């Protein structure tokens, strides 16, 4: 989701600040090497771009795909960390923060990891400014920035171009999501993690992460609790509070836990409440962020023990 007809208006200013400019003939060995990383379907449209100035830059080419995107600039760097800095500057220029609640598959102004069917792993962000749309991604030492006319068309073009997919662990997590959560809103959040945007009113994002074993799950949960400054076994003082850590599970008519299922904690992260819980039988950590504690608690009560739909 993101783009523009040549690269115009405010997007031009942002990309110009990054050094993305006009193109000339492919002339150097480095340009030719980079050109081989461009998909054959529009490789013949590419020209060397000498106006791209950035620390560690090796080569740059500007291309004009036939469909989906109006233009795309590929920039190669000596080192992956130089490419990462260039990419970070690109999304900061367009005011897209890192690791957003949403993903480009669902919303513009998003940033997240992605992976491909070929096994590559990188970062992707998309942005809309007025009527201009941009999508940018990393591929090892390469950063590409594409523009186009429509969010959905540009994202679809890019996802097909790179062969975006989820790995087997992520696909298993997706299949095991409780019924009622829109799987179309869920995307890559790391090697063994997915995130789903807006699963319920006033719940902005929920992340599901699978761990190798119970010890790894407990360590990850404990690290988050320690960073939040929480101690173990702090009961909620009242219904609306968000500063506690306790166990949770199935309860009897008196509210006593008859079967413990994991640990549960709530604390404020920035200015927003943050609820997380472990599901020991599935070795999964669930993290939810929202606008208020009541919404997070409602989400927990609705989905913590809910089963996936029969069709999945």
pLDDT at position 78 over 90: yes
Residues 6+ apart with CB under 8 A from 76: 30, 33, 34, 37, 57, 58, 59, 60, 83, 141, 142
Q: What is the CA 207 to chain-centroid distance, rounded? A: 11
Rg of the chain's alpha carbons, rounded to an integer? 22
Q: What angle do CA 119, 121, 126 make, to 5 degrees?
A: 130
Res 3: pLDDT: 34
Q: Tell me the sheet residues that pair with 147.
A: 71, 134
Q: Are 38 and 48 in contact (CB under 8 A)?
A: no
Residues 6+ apart with CB under 8 A from 114: 121, 122, 123, 124, 137, 162, 164, 187, 188
Percent of the chain with pLDDT over 90: 64
> Is residue 106 helix, strand or coil?
coil
Residues 6+ apart with CB under 8 A from 259: 249, 250
How is the chain split into domains, by residue range? 9-165, 168-303
DSSP category for residue 308:
P
Give 142-156 pLDDT, tens digit per residue: 999 999 988 789 999
Mean pLDDT lowest among 157-161, 193-197, 268-272: 268-272
Q: Tell me the sheet residues that pair with 122.
A: 114
Res 308: pLDDT: 85
């Amino acid at each position: 989701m993101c783009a523009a007809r040549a690269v115009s208006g405010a997007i031009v200013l942002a990309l110009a600040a990054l050094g993305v400019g006009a193109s000339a003939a492919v002339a150097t060995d480095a340009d030719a090497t980079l050109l081989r990383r461009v998909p054959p379907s529009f490789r013949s449209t590419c020209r060397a771009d000498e106006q791209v100035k950035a620390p560690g830059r090796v080569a740059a080419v500007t291309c004009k795909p036939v469909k989906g995107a109006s233009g795309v600039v590929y920039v190669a760097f000596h080192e992956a960390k130089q490419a990462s800095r260039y990419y970070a500057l690109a999304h900061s220029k367009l005011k897209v923060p890192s690791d957003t609640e949403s993903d480009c598959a669902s919303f513009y102004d998003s940033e997240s990891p992605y992976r491909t069917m070929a096994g590559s792993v990188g970062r992707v962000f998309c942005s809309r400014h007025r009527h201009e749309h941009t999508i940018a991604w990393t591929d090892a030492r390469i950063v590409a920035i594409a523009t186009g006319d429509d969010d959905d068309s540009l994202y679809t073009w890019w996802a097909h171009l790179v062969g975006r997919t989820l790995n087997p662990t992520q696909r298993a997590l997706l299949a095991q999501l409780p019924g009622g959560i829109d799987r179309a809103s869920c995307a890559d959040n790391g090697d063994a993690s997915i995130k789903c945007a807006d699963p319920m009113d006033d719940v902005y994002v929920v992340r599901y992460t699978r761990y190798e074993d119970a010890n790894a799950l407990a360590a990850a949960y404990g690290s988050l609790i320690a960073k939040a400054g929480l101690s173990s076994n702090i009961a909620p003082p009242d219904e609306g509070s968000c500063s506690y850590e306790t166990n949770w599970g199935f309860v009897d008519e008196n509210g006593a836990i008859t079967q413990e299922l994991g640990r549960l904690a709530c604390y404020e992260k920035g200015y927003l409440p943050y609820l997380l819980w472990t599901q020991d039988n599935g070795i999964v950590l669930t993290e939810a962020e929202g606008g208020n504690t009541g919404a997070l608690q409602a989400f927990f009560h609705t989905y913590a023990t809910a089963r996936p739909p029969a069709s999945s």
